[in-house]
Amino acid sequence: MTRDDLIARLRKIAALAANGVGGEAANAVALLDSIAAEHGIDLNDLGSERKSMHTYRTGREQWRRNLFCQILWRLDKNIPCYNAMVPASPAKVRRRARRKGRASGVSRKAFDAVRAECTDSQFVEAVAKFEVLQRDYARQLKAFHRAFLLANDLLCDYDPASPEPTDEQKSLSADAMRLSQGIFESQLHPQIFG
């Protein structure tokens, strides 16, 4: 491990020591002190990484932007985080126009990114966590949708003519069954839906 790699690692541990909660912060301080002493590094030499503005395309769904901001705020409560409109590339605009049968492309403006002022290491860590968590969140959202249908007796019966469900579909159904037990059935107005 080079000295630069070691200092980058120590900066991450120092950030955890500064922003951690309870035992997490205490353990980070102890680890920081032991690594610095072992390699003869003065903690004052670490300094702090320079913060800069970073932009990350999360997608158009609001929950994706919220999830990314929550990850950033978990790393450091003081990171300013904003919804941002990032124009599509000219090639993407042209492809979209051809698909829709228009002569020229017009970029649609929509919030599909997050801008945050943070260090490079915080940004890299947030992106890595987001890539994992957003897939799991989307999967659990599907399970919740299925659970809501189950709780309100709206899920269609299994069709024996359909192919055997995959392991992922079976897992999703099991998650949905567990979730549906905690969902209250929606009350429909009896005069309207008698």
pLDDT in tens, 135-169: 888 888 888 888 888 888 777 655 666 677 788 87
Backbone φ and ψ for 166, nearest 5 degrees, come out as -75, 170
Count Cα atoms within 13 angstroms, Cβ side, for 29.
10
**What one-character DSSP code corresponds to residue 65?**
H
- The letter for the amino acid at 74 is R
| 18: pLDDT strictly greater than 90 | no
123 CB neighbour count, 10 Å cutoff: 21
Q: Which helix (H) or strand (E) holds 13?
A: helix 3-19
- Mean pLDDT value of segment 44-72: 84
**CA–CA separation, 111 and 145 (whole Å):** 25
Q: Give the global pTM.
A: 0.57
Q: Is 79 exposed, middle or buried (0-12, 13-18, 19+ CB in 10 A)?
A: buried
Beta-carbon contacts of residue 141 (< 8 Å; ≥ 6 apart): 63
Q: Check residue 10 and give its pLDDT.
A: 81
| Strand, helix or coil for residue 182 | coil
Find tokens 């541990």 and name the residue.
Answer: 13
**CA–CA separation, 177 and 147 (whole Å):** 6
Better-scored residue on pLDDT, 79 or 86 = 79
Backbone φ and ψ for 143, nearest 5 degrees, come out as -65, -40
Better-scored residue on pLDDT, 17 or 108 = 17
* Encoded tokens for 63: 């929950």
CA dihedral in degrees (16, 19, 24, 27; nearest 10)? 50
Q: Check residue 67 and give its pLDDT.
A: 92
**CA–CA separation, 19 and 135 (whole Å):** 26
Q: What are the tens digits of pLDDT across the range 89-105?
A: 667 666 766 776 655 54
